[in-house]
Structure 1
Amino acid sequence: MHSLHSDGSLSVEELVARVAERGVRLMALTDHDNTAGIVEAQQKAAQRGIGLIPGVEVSSEWSGIGIHIVGLGIDIHNRELQRGLARIMEFRDWRAAEISRLLAVAGMPGAEEGARRLAGSRMVGRTHFARWLKDTGHCQDNAEAFQRWLGRGQVAYVPSDWIPMSEAVDWIRQSGGIAVVAHPGRYKLSGSRLRALCEEFRAAGGGAIEVSSGSQGAADREHLGRLAQQLDLAASLGSDFHGPEIGHAEIGQIFPLPEGVQPVWERLGYADFSLH
Protein backbone atom coordinates (compact mmCIF):
# COMPACT_ATOMS: atom_id res chain seq x y z
CA MET A 1 0.00 0.00 0.00
CA HIS A 2 1.02 3.58 -0.62
CA SER A 3 0.59 6.79 1.34
CA LEU A 4 1.12 10.51 0.78
CA HIS A 5 4.83 9.82 1.20
CA SER A 6 4.77 8.63 -2.44
CA ASP A 7 1.84 8.52 -4.84
CA GLY A 8 -0.95 7.54 -2.46
CA SER A 9 -3.70 9.99 -1.60
CA LEU A 10 -4.08 9.22 2.14
CA SER A 11 -1.90 10.16 5.07
CA VAL A 12 -0.36 7.29 7.02
CA GLU A 13 -2.90 7.75 9.80
CA GLU A 14 -5.81 7.72 7.33
CA LEU A 15 -4.39 4.66 5.58
CA VAL A 16 -4.01 2.63 8.77
CA ALA A 17 -7.53 3.64 9.85
CA ARG A 18 -8.90 2.39 6.54
CA VAL A 19 -7.00 -0.89 6.93
CA ALA A 20 -8.63 -1.34 10.34
CA GLU A 21 -12.09 -0.52 8.96
CA ARG A 22 -11.62 -3.16 6.25
CA GLY A 23 -10.79 -5.83 8.83
CA VAL A 24 -7.27 -6.47 7.53
CA ARG A 25 -4.89 -7.76 10.22
CA LEU A 26 -1.52 -7.55 8.41
CA MET A 27 -0.39 -4.72 6.16
CA ALA A 28 2.78 -3.55 4.44
CA LEU A 29 3.50 0.10 3.71
CA THR A 30 5.59 0.15 0.52
CA ASP A 31 5.95 3.73 -0.62
CA HIS A 32 8.04 4.36 -3.72
CA ASP A 33 11.76 4.84 -3.11
CA ASN A 34 11.48 6.07 0.48
CA THR A 35 10.63 4.84 3.97
CA ALA A 36 9.56 8.17 5.46
CA GLY A 37 6.17 6.88 6.65
CA ILE A 38 7.25 3.62 8.27
CA VAL A 39 7.81 4.75 11.86
CA GLU A 40 4.43 6.47 12.03
CA ALA A 41 2.79 3.46 10.36
CA GLN A 42 4.29 1.13 12.98
CA GLN A 43 2.95 3.31 15.76
CA LYS A 44 -0.55 3.71 14.29
CA ALA A 45 -0.82 0.01 13.39
CA ALA A 46 0.25 -1.08 16.88
CA GLN A 47 -2.45 1.12 18.41
CA ARG A 48 -5.06 -0.75 16.38
CA GLY A 49 -3.63 -4.26 16.81
CA ILE A 50 -2.56 -4.54 13.17
CA GLY A 51 0.66 -6.24 12.07
CA LEU A 52 2.89 -3.89 10.08
CA ILE A 53 5.57 -5.17 7.70
CA PRO A 54 8.01 -2.33 6.91
CA GLY A 55 8.53 -2.08 3.18
CA VAL A 56 9.54 -0.02 0.18
CA GLU A 57 8.95 -0.22 -3.59
CA VAL A 58 12.22 0.42 -5.40
CA SER A 59 12.31 1.75 -8.97
CA SER A 60 14.74 -0.34 -11.01
CA GLU A 61 15.49 -1.50 -14.55
CA TRP A 62 15.89 -4.88 -16.22
CA SER A 63 16.67 -5.41 -19.89
CA GLY A 64 15.66 -1.86 -20.79
CA ILE A 65 12.30 -1.80 -19.00
CA GLY A 66 11.27 -0.39 -15.63
CA ILE A 67 10.73 -3.04 -12.96
CA HIS A 68 9.48 -2.32 -9.44
CA ILE A 69 11.06 -4.38 -6.67
CA VAL A 70 9.30 -4.43 -3.32
CA GLY A 71 11.33 -4.96 -0.16
CA LEU A 72 9.41 -6.53 2.73
CA GLY A 73 10.63 -6.88 6.30
CA ILE A 74 13.40 -4.35 5.76
CA ASP A 75 15.47 -2.57 8.40
CA ILE A 76 14.71 1.03 7.52
CA HIS A 77 17.85 2.18 9.35
CA ASN A 78 20.19 0.15 7.14
CA ARG A 79 22.80 2.54 5.72
CA GLU A 80 23.23 0.82 2.37
CA LEU A 81 19.50 0.82 1.71
CA GLN A 82 19.09 4.46 2.69
CA ARG A 83 22.09 5.56 0.63
CA GLY A 84 20.60 3.81 -2.37
CA LEU A 85 17.14 5.29 -1.88
CA ALA A 86 18.71 8.75 -1.51
CA ARG A 87 20.30 8.30 -4.96
CA ILE A 88 16.93 7.52 -6.49
CA MET A 89 15.26 10.46 -4.78
CA GLU A 90 17.98 12.79 -6.09
CA PHE A 91 17.20 11.58 -9.60
CA ARG A 92 13.48 12.10 -8.97
CA ASP A 93 14.18 15.68 -7.88
CA TRP A 94 16.16 16.33 -11.06
CA ARG A 95 13.46 14.72 -13.23
CA ALA A 96 10.73 16.84 -11.65
CA ALA A 97 12.68 20.01 -12.39
CA GLU A 98 13.28 18.88 -15.98
CA ILE A 99 9.62 17.99 -16.59
CA SER A 100 8.66 21.39 -15.23
CA ARG A 101 11.18 23.13 -17.50
CA LEU A 102 9.83 21.35 -20.57
CA LEU A 103 6.24 22.18 -19.68
CA ALA A 104 7.23 25.83 -19.15
CA VAL A 105 8.80 25.91 -22.62
CA ALA A 106 5.46 24.59 -23.92
CA GLY A 107 3.65 27.51 -22.26
CA MET A 108 2.70 25.94 -18.91
CA PRO A 109 4.89 27.48 -16.18
CA GLY A 110 4.76 26.57 -12.50
CA ALA A 111 4.36 22.83 -12.94
CA GLU A 112 6.90 21.69 -10.35
CA GLU A 113 5.49 23.93 -7.65
CA GLY A 114 2.00 22.72 -8.44
CA ALA A 115 2.99 19.06 -8.54
CA ARG A 116 4.85 19.32 -5.24
CA ARG A 117 1.86 21.01 -3.64
CA LEU A 118 -0.35 18.10 -4.75
CA ALA A 119 2.19 15.49 -3.67
CA GLY A 120 2.41 16.77 -0.12
CA SER A 121 5.87 15.21 0.28
CA ARG A 122 9.25 15.18 -1.44
CA MET A 123 8.37 12.23 -3.70
CA VAL A 124 7.01 13.81 -6.89
CA GLY A 125 6.12 11.56 -9.80
CA ARG A 126 4.55 11.95 -13.19
CA THR A 127 1.11 11.25 -11.73
CA HIS A 128 1.40 14.45 -9.69
CA PHE A 129 2.23 16.42 -12.84
CA ALA A 130 -0.74 14.78 -14.57
CA ARG A 131 -3.02 15.90 -11.75
CA TRP A 132 -1.64 19.44 -11.97
CA LEU A 133 -2.24 19.52 -15.74
CA LYS A 134 -5.82 18.39 -15.15
CA ASP A 135 -6.45 20.80 -12.29
CA THR A 136 -5.10 23.76 -14.27
CA GLY A 137 -7.29 22.97 -17.28
CA HIS A 138 -4.56 21.85 -19.68
CA CYS A 139 -6.25 18.46 -20.13
CA GLN A 140 -9.39 16.66 -19.07
CA ASP A 141 -7.89 13.80 -17.05
CA ASN A 142 -4.68 11.98 -16.17
CA ALA A 143 -4.88 9.76 -19.25
CA GLU A 144 -4.89 12.78 -21.56
CA ALA A 145 -2.01 14.32 -19.59
CA PHE A 146 0.15 11.32 -20.40
CA GLN A 147 -1.06 11.06 -23.99
CA ARG A 148 -0.38 14.72 -24.79
CA TRP A 149 2.45 15.77 -22.51
CA LEU A 150 4.06 13.22 -20.17
CA GLY A 151 4.08 9.89 -22.01
CA ARG A 152 6.96 8.42 -24.00
CA GLY A 153 7.79 10.60 -26.99
CA GLN A 154 5.70 13.56 -25.80
CA VAL A 155 6.84 17.12 -25.11
CA ALA A 156 7.59 16.72 -21.39
CA TYR A 157 8.71 13.10 -21.40
CA VAL A 158 11.95 12.59 -19.47
CA PRO A 159 13.48 9.10 -19.73
CA SER A 160 13.96 7.30 -16.44
CA ASP A 161 17.44 6.35 -15.29
CA TRP A 162 16.73 3.67 -12.72
CA ILE A 163 19.23 1.37 -11.03
CA PRO A 164 19.77 -2.24 -12.19
CA MET A 165 17.28 -4.70 -10.71
CA SER A 166 20.10 -6.70 -9.13
CA GLU A 167 21.22 -3.63 -7.20
CA ALA A 168 17.74 -3.08 -5.77
CA VAL A 169 17.64 -6.73 -4.67
CA ASP A 170 21.04 -6.35 -3.03
CA TRP A 171 19.98 -3.27 -1.02
CA ILE A 172 16.89 -5.08 0.23
CA ARG A 173 18.84 -8.20 1.21
CA GLN A 174 21.48 -6.14 3.02
CA SER A 175 18.69 -4.55 5.04
CA GLY A 176 17.46 -7.98 6.11
CA GLY A 177 14.38 -7.97 3.87
CA ILE A 178 12.92 -10.19 1.17
CA ALA A 179 12.86 -8.82 -2.37
CA VAL A 180 9.64 -9.25 -4.37
CA VAL A 181 8.93 -8.59 -8.06
CA ALA A 182 5.95 -6.23 -7.90
CA HIS A 183 2.92 -6.83 -10.17
CA PRO A 184 4.79 -8.89 -12.84
CA GLY A 185 1.59 -9.20 -14.86
CA ARG A 186 1.75 -5.48 -15.70
CA TYR A 187 5.04 -5.57 -17.58
CA LYS A 188 3.57 -6.90 -20.84
CA LEU A 189 6.27 -9.55 -21.21
CA SER A 190 5.95 -12.77 -23.16
CA GLY A 191 5.97 -15.97 -21.12
CA SER A 192 9.62 -16.64 -21.91
CA ARG A 193 10.69 -13.10 -21.09
CA LEU A 194 8.77 -13.13 -17.81
CA ARG A 195 10.46 -16.38 -16.86
CA ALA A 196 13.86 -14.92 -17.79
CA LEU A 197 13.14 -11.90 -15.57
CA CYS A 198 12.18 -14.10 -12.63
CA GLU A 199 15.15 -16.43 -13.12
CA GLU A 200 17.59 -13.51 -13.14
CA PHE A 201 15.79 -12.01 -10.14
CA ARG A 202 16.14 -15.29 -8.21
CA ALA A 203 19.82 -15.58 -9.18
CA ALA A 204 20.37 -12.08 -7.77
CA GLY A 205 18.89 -13.16 -4.44
CA GLY A 206 15.23 -12.31 -4.95
CA GLY A 207 12.76 -14.24 -2.83
CA ALA A 208 9.19 -13.80 -4.09
CA ILE A 209 6.88 -12.57 -6.84
CA GLU A 210 3.55 -10.81 -6.46
CA VAL A 211 1.07 -13.46 -7.53
CA SER A 212 -2.18 -11.73 -6.63
CA SER A 213 -2.31 -7.95 -6.99
CA GLY A 214 -4.96 -5.30 -7.21
CA SER A 215 -3.04 -3.71 -10.08
CA GLN A 216 -2.82 -6.71 -12.39
CA GLY A 217 -5.40 -9.00 -13.97
CA ALA A 218 -7.03 -11.77 -11.95
CA ALA A 219 -6.22 -14.15 -14.81
CA ASP A 220 -2.51 -13.75 -14.07
CA ARG A 221 -2.86 -15.39 -10.68
CA GLU A 222 -2.71 -19.07 -11.65
CA HIS A 223 0.13 -18.63 -14.14
CA LEU A 224 2.21 -16.60 -11.69
CA GLY A 225 1.51 -19.09 -8.94
CA ARG A 226 2.86 -21.93 -11.08
CA LEU A 227 5.91 -19.86 -11.97
CA ALA A 228 6.59 -19.17 -8.29
CA GLN A 229 6.42 -22.88 -7.52
CA GLN A 230 8.67 -23.84 -10.43
CA LEU A 231 11.33 -21.34 -9.39
CA ASP A 232 11.01 -21.96 -5.63
CA LEU A 233 9.91 -18.39 -5.02
CA ALA A 234 7.42 -17.32 -2.37
CA ALA A 235 4.21 -15.56 -3.38
CA SER A 236 2.96 -12.19 -2.21
CA LEU A 237 -0.56 -10.80 -2.25
CA GLY A 238 -1.48 -7.14 -2.06
CA SER A 239 -4.03 -4.57 -3.10
CA ASP A 240 -1.44 -2.02 -4.33
CA PHE A 241 -3.86 0.46 -2.76
CA HIS A 242 -3.13 4.11 -3.57
CA GLY A 243 -6.38 5.74 -2.50
CA PRO A 244 -10.17 5.32 -2.64
CA GLU A 245 -10.41 7.32 -5.87
CA ILE A 246 -7.56 5.53 -7.65
CA GLY A 247 -8.39 2.53 -9.79
CA HIS A 248 -6.67 -0.38 -8.01
CA ALA A 249 -8.39 -2.83 -5.67
CA GLU A 250 -9.87 -1.75 -2.37
CA ILE A 251 -7.97 -2.86 0.74
CA GLY A 252 -8.81 -6.49 1.49
CA GLN A 253 -10.65 -7.07 -1.80
CA ILE A 254 -8.16 -9.15 -3.73
CA PHE A 255 -8.11 -12.73 -4.94
CA PRO A 256 -6.47 -15.20 -2.54
CA LEU A 257 -3.24 -16.95 -3.42
CA PRO A 258 -3.62 -20.18 -5.38
CA GLU A 259 -3.07 -23.45 -3.55
CA GLY A 260 0.45 -24.81 -3.36
CA VAL A 261 2.41 -21.56 -3.12
CA GLN A 262 4.20 -20.37 0.00
CA PRO A 263 2.98 -16.98 1.24
CA VAL A 264 5.86 -14.56 1.58
CA TRP A 265 4.63 -13.45 5.01
CA GLU A 266 5.33 -16.95 6.34
CA ARG A 267 8.98 -16.54 5.34
CA LEU A 268 8.91 -13.25 7.23
CA GLY A 269 7.69 -14.93 10.41
CA TYR A 270 3.99 -14.10 10.19
CA ALA A 271 2.70 -17.67 9.90
CA ASP A 272 -0.26 -16.83 12.15
CA PHE A 273 -1.62 -14.73 9.27
CA SER A 274 -1.56 -17.66 6.83
CA LEU A 275 -4.56 -17.06 4.58
CA HIS A 276 -5.00 -18.23 0.99
Structure 2
Amino acid sequence: MASKVADSEQNGPEAGQLWLVPTPVGNLGDITYRAVEVLRNADAVACEDTRRTGVLLQHLGLKRPLVRLDAHTMYRAPQVLEQYPRLAYVSDAGTPGISDPGAELLQAALERGLAVEVLPGATAFVPALVLSGLPTARFTFEGFLPRSGRERRERLEAIAVRTETSVLYESPHRLGATLSDLAQACSPDRQASVTRELTKRYEETRRGSLQDLAAHFAEGVRGEIVVVVAGADRAEQASAGPDPETLAAELAGQGLSTRDLRAALMERGLSKNDAYALALRLRES
Protein backbone atom coordinates (compact mmCIF):
# COMPACT_ATOMS: atom_id res chain seq x y z
CA MET A 1 0.00 0.00 0.00
CA ALA A 2 1.62 3.26 -1.12
CA SER A 3 1.45 6.00 1.50
CA LYS A 4 3.16 8.99 3.06
CA VAL A 5 4.15 6.74 5.95
CA ALA A 6 6.06 4.40 3.63
CA ASP A 7 7.73 7.36 1.93
CA SER A 8 8.86 8.89 5.22
CA GLU A 9 10.17 5.52 6.39
CA GLN A 10 12.51 5.37 3.39
CA ASN A 11 13.52 9.01 3.11
CA GLY A 12 12.52 10.55 6.46
CA PRO A 13 11.46 14.20 6.84
CA GLU A 14 14.43 16.41 7.66
CA ALA A 15 12.98 17.96 10.82
CA GLY A 16 10.71 15.13 11.93
CA GLN A 17 7.06 14.20 11.68
CA LEU A 18 4.09 14.14 14.03
CA TRP A 19 0.94 12.17 13.26
CA LEU A 20 -2.27 12.69 15.24
CA VAL A 21 -4.01 9.32 14.97
CA PRO A 22 -7.72 8.86 15.80
CA THR A 23 -8.57 5.72 17.76
CA PRO A 24 -11.97 4.06 18.24
CA VAL A 25 -14.36 5.64 20.75
CA GLY A 26 -15.52 2.17 21.71
CA ASN A 27 -15.51 -0.66 19.18
CA LEU A 28 -11.89 -1.45 18.30
CA GLY A 29 -13.01 -2.57 14.85
CA ASP A 30 -13.54 1.08 13.90
CA ILE A 31 -9.84 1.84 13.54
CA THR A 32 -8.74 2.55 9.97
CA TYR A 33 -6.14 0.64 7.96
CA ARG A 34 -4.11 3.82 7.61
CA ALA A 35 -4.11 4.46 11.36
CA VAL A 36 -2.69 0.97 11.91
CA GLU A 37 -0.03 1.61 9.28
CA VAL A 38 1.06 4.87 10.92
CA LEU A 39 1.22 3.25 14.37
CA ARG A 40 3.27 0.38 12.94
CA ASN A 41 5.85 2.66 11.32
CA ALA A 42 6.20 5.35 13.98
CA ASP A 43 9.35 5.46 16.13
CA ALA A 44 7.09 5.65 19.20
CA VAL A 45 3.47 6.15 20.18
CA ALA A 46 2.73 8.97 22.62
CA CYS A 47 -0.57 8.74 24.47
CA GLU A 48 -2.61 9.87 27.46
CA ASP A 49 -2.70 6.46 29.16
CA THR A 50 -0.03 3.86 28.33
CA ARG A 51 -2.13 1.03 29.77
CA ARG A 52 -5.16 1.84 27.66
CA THR A 53 -3.12 2.38 24.51
CA GLY A 54 -1.16 -0.78 25.28
CA VAL A 55 -4.40 -2.76 25.12
CA LEU A 56 -5.14 -1.23 21.70
CA LEU A 57 -1.68 -2.02 20.33
CA GLN A 58 -1.88 -5.57 21.66
CA HIS A 59 -5.26 -5.98 19.92
CA LEU A 60 -3.64 -4.78 16.68
CA GLY A 61 -0.61 -7.04 17.12
CA LEU A 62 1.79 -4.08 17.28
CA LYS A 63 4.79 -3.54 19.54
CA ARG A 64 5.93 0.08 19.72
CA PRO A 65 7.55 2.15 22.48
CA LEU A 66 4.87 3.96 24.49
CA VAL A 67 5.39 7.44 25.95
CA ARG A 68 2.95 9.10 28.31
CA LEU A 69 1.97 12.63 27.26
CA ASP A 70 -1.18 13.73 29.06
CA ALA A 71 -2.31 17.04 30.54
CA HIS A 72 0.11 16.61 33.46
CA THR A 73 3.17 15.60 31.44
CA MET A 74 2.83 17.68 28.27
CA TYR A 75 5.75 19.83 29.44
CA ARG A 76 7.90 16.91 28.22
CA ALA A 77 6.68 17.35 24.61
CA PRO A 78 9.84 19.08 23.25
CA GLN A 79 12.09 16.31 24.60
CA VAL A 80 9.81 13.57 23.26
CA LEU A 81 9.65 15.19 19.82
CA GLU A 82 13.44 15.43 19.85
CA GLN A 83 13.91 11.80 20.90
CA TYR A 84 11.43 10.33 18.42
CA PRO A 85 11.61 12.04 14.98
CA ARG A 86 8.56 10.10 13.73
CA LEU A 87 6.04 10.31 16.54
CA ALA A 88 2.41 9.14 16.51
CA TYR A 89 0.05 10.55 19.12
CA VAL A 90 -3.25 9.05 20.24
CA SER A 91 -5.71 10.19 22.89
CA ASP A 92 -7.71 7.79 25.04
CA ALA A 93 -10.41 7.69 22.35
CA GLY A 94 -11.41 9.64 19.27
CA THR A 95 -9.47 12.30 17.38
CA PRO A 96 -6.52 13.91 19.23
CA GLY A 97 -6.80 17.66 19.65
CA ILE A 98 -10.54 17.60 20.40
CA SER A 99 -10.93 18.32 24.13
CA ASP A 100 -7.62 16.66 25.01
CA PRO A 101 -3.88 17.54 25.24
CA GLY A 102 -3.25 16.69 21.59
CA ALA A 103 -3.75 20.35 20.69
CA GLU A 104 -0.78 21.34 22.90
CA LEU A 105 1.44 18.71 21.31
CA LEU A 106 0.50 19.91 17.84
CA GLN A 107 1.46 23.49 18.78
CA ALA A 108 4.80 22.28 20.15
CA ALA A 109 5.48 20.43 16.90
CA LEU A 110 4.60 23.46 14.76
CA GLU A 111 6.87 25.68 16.86
CA ARG A 112 9.74 23.28 16.13
CA GLY A 113 8.99 23.36 12.39
CA LEU A 114 7.96 19.71 12.23
CA ALA A 115 5.68 18.26 9.59
CA VAL A 116 2.26 17.53 11.10
CA GLU A 117 -0.46 15.29 9.72
CA VAL A 118 -3.91 14.66 11.20
CA LEU A 119 -5.54 11.43 10.08
CA PRO A 120 -9.32 11.37 9.60
CA GLY A 121 -11.21 9.03 11.86
CA ALA A 122 -13.39 8.52 14.88
CA THR A 123 -14.79 11.30 17.04
CA ALA A 124 -17.72 11.06 19.42
CA PHE A 125 -19.62 14.29 18.83
CA VAL A 126 -20.42 13.78 15.13
CA PRO A 127 -22.38 10.50 15.44
CA ALA A 128 -24.05 11.81 18.60
CA LEU A 129 -25.12 14.97 16.78
CA VAL A 130 -26.63 12.95 13.93
CA LEU A 131 -28.31 10.52 16.34
CA SER A 132 -29.95 13.41 18.22
CA GLY A 133 -32.35 14.04 15.36
CA LEU A 134 -31.79 17.79 15.83
CA PRO A 135 -30.71 20.17 13.02
CA THR A 136 -27.14 19.51 11.85
CA ALA A 137 -26.66 22.20 9.16
CA ARG A 138 -25.10 24.56 11.73
CA PHE A 139 -23.85 23.63 15.17
CA THR A 140 -21.40 24.75 17.85
CA PHE A 141 -19.12 22.31 19.66
CA GLU A 142 -18.66 23.37 23.29
CA GLY A 143 -16.35 20.62 24.52
CA PHE A 144 -16.52 20.34 28.32
CA LEU A 145 -18.23 23.20 30.17
CA PRO A 146 -16.35 24.87 33.05
CA ARG A 147 -17.32 23.25 36.34
CA SER A 148 -18.45 26.44 38.08
CA GLY A 149 -18.21 30.20 38.26
CA ARG A 150 -18.76 33.06 35.90
CA GLU A 151 -17.33 31.32 32.83
CA ARG A 152 -19.80 28.45 33.24
CA ARG A 153 -22.73 30.87 33.56
CA GLU A 154 -21.65 32.74 30.44
CA ARG A 155 -21.30 29.52 28.42
CA LEU A 156 -24.77 28.40 29.55
CA GLU A 157 -26.20 31.79 28.58
CA ALA A 158 -24.58 31.51 25.15
CA ILE A 159 -26.16 28.08 24.59
CA ALA A 160 -29.54 29.46 25.71
CA VAL A 161 -29.68 32.20 23.08
CA ARG A 162 -27.84 30.41 20.27
CA THR A 163 -30.07 29.53 17.32
CA GLU A 164 -27.92 26.63 16.08
CA THR A 165 -27.56 23.25 17.77
CA SER A 166 -25.02 22.98 20.61
CA VAL A 167 -22.93 19.89 21.32
CA LEU A 168 -20.96 19.26 24.52
CA TYR A 169 -19.16 16.53 26.40
CA GLU A 170 -19.86 15.70 30.04
CA SER A 171 -18.63 13.27 32.66
CA PRO A 172 -21.03 10.69 34.14
CA HIS A 173 -21.13 12.10 37.65
CA ARG A 174 -21.79 15.69 36.48
CA LEU A 175 -24.39 14.86 33.81
CA GLY A 176 -27.47 15.37 36.00
CA ALA A 177 -26.30 18.75 37.30
CA THR A 178 -25.40 19.97 33.81
CA LEU A 179 -28.77 18.96 32.37
CA SER A 180 -30.50 20.79 35.24
CA ASP A 181 -28.39 23.90 34.62
CA LEU A 182 -29.19 23.74 30.91
CA ALA A 183 -32.91 23.38 31.64
CA GLN A 184 -32.76 26.48 33.84
CA ALA A 185 -30.72 28.52 31.36
CA CYS A 186 -32.55 27.50 28.18
CA SER A 187 -36.02 26.39 29.28
CA PRO A 188 -37.30 23.11 30.71
CA ASP A 189 -38.98 22.27 27.39
CA ARG A 190 -35.93 22.80 25.15
CA GLN A 191 -35.31 19.59 23.20
CA ALA A 192 -32.04 17.73 23.63
CA SER A 193 -30.47 14.29 23.55
CA VAL A 194 -27.94 12.34 25.60
CA THR A 195 -25.78 9.72 23.90
CA ARG A 196 -23.46 7.44 25.86
CA GLU A 197 -21.26 4.41 25.24
CA LEU A 198 -21.04 5.07 21.50
CA THR A 199 -20.26 1.97 19.41
CA LYS A 200 -20.23 -0.24 22.51
CA ARG A 201 -22.61 -3.01 23.54
CA TYR A 202 -24.78 -0.77 25.72
CA GLU A 203 -24.87 2.29 23.44
CA GLU A 204 -27.84 4.50 24.28
CA THR A 205 -29.37 7.68 22.91
CA ARG A 206 -32.22 9.24 24.86
CA ARG A 207 -34.14 12.19 23.41
CA GLY A 208 -36.57 14.56 25.06
CA SER A 209 -36.87 17.84 26.91
CA LEU A 210 -34.02 19.04 29.11
CA GLN A 211 -36.32 18.72 32.12
CA ASP A 212 -37.16 15.08 31.36
CA LEU A 213 -33.54 14.21 30.61
CA ALA A 214 -32.36 15.85 33.83
CA ALA A 215 -34.86 13.77 35.82
CA HIS A 216 -33.93 10.56 34.02
CA PHE A 217 -30.18 10.98 34.51
CA ALA A 218 -30.35 12.53 37.99
CA GLU A 219 -28.53 9.56 39.53
CA GLY A 220 -25.77 9.56 36.92
CA VAL A 221 -24.72 6.91 34.43
CA ARG A 222 -21.61 5.18 33.17
CA GLY A 223 -19.64 5.76 30.01
CA GLU A 224 -18.51 8.62 27.81
CA ILE A 225 -21.33 11.10 27.25
CA VAL A 226 -22.33 13.59 24.54
CA VAL A 227 -25.16 16.08 25.13
CA VAL A 228 -26.85 17.76 22.15
CA VAL A 229 -29.13 20.78 22.72
CA ALA A 230 -31.53 22.30 20.19
CA GLY A 231 -31.10 25.93 19.22
CA ALA A 232 -33.37 28.66 20.56
CA ASP A 233 -36.44 29.74 18.68
CA ARG A 234 -37.44 33.40 18.42
CA ALA A 235 -39.67 33.32 21.50
CA GLU A 236 -36.90 31.80 23.62
CA GLN A 237 -34.39 34.35 22.37
CA ALA A 238 -36.70 37.16 23.41
CA SER A 239 -37.15 35.77 26.93
CA ALA A 240 -33.61 34.53 27.48
CA GLY A 241 -32.20 37.84 28.64
CA PRO A 242 -32.03 41.62 28.13
CA ASP A 243 -32.48 43.16 24.70
CA PRO A 244 -29.27 43.61 22.65
CA GLU A 245 -28.97 47.35 23.42
CA THR A 246 -29.21 46.76 27.18
CA LEU A 247 -26.89 43.77 27.02
CA ALA A 248 -24.30 45.74 25.04
CA ALA A 249 -24.45 48.63 27.51
CA GLU A 250 -23.99 46.24 30.44
CA LEU A 251 -20.97 44.59 28.80
CA ALA A 252 -19.46 47.94 27.81
CA GLY A 253 -19.77 49.01 31.44
CA GLN A 254 -17.35 46.20 32.32
CA GLY A 255 -14.60 48.02 30.41
CA LEU A 256 -14.44 45.68 27.41
CA SER A 257 -12.64 46.84 24.30
CA THR A 258 -14.63 47.17 21.08
CA ARG A 259 -13.24 43.86 19.83
CA ASP A 260 -13.97 42.03 23.09
CA LEU A 261 -17.44 43.57 23.28
CA ARG A 262 -18.23 42.38 19.76
CA ALA A 263 -17.01 38.87 20.60
CA ALA A 264 -19.09 38.79 23.80
CA LEU A 265 -22.22 39.86 21.92
CA MET A 266 -21.66 37.17 19.29
CA GLU A 267 -21.25 34.55 22.03
CA ARG A 268 -24.69 35.57 23.29
CA GLY A 269 -26.33 34.94 19.94
CA LEU A 270 -26.07 38.21 17.99
CA SER A 271 -25.01 38.04 14.38
CA LYS A 272 -21.54 39.28 13.46
CA ASN A 273 -22.92 42.38 11.71
CA ASP A 274 -25.31 43.30 14.54
CA ALA A 275 -22.63 42.80 17.17
CA TYR A 276 -20.18 44.97 15.23
CA ALA A 277 -22.72 47.75 14.71
CA LEU A 278 -23.67 47.81 18.39
CA ALA A 279 -20.08 47.78 19.60
CA LEU A 280 -19.14 50.57 17.17
CA ARG A 281 -22.12 52.70 18.19
CA LEU A 282 -21.29 52.39 21.86
CA ARG A 283 -17.67 53.31 21.25
CA GLU A 284 -18.68 56.46 19.34
CA SER A 285 -21.08 57.50 22.09
TM-score, normalising length: structure 2? 0.31
Which structure is larger by alpha-carbon Rg, 1 or 2? Answer: 2
Q: Report the TM-score, using the length of structure 1 for normalisation.
A: 0.32
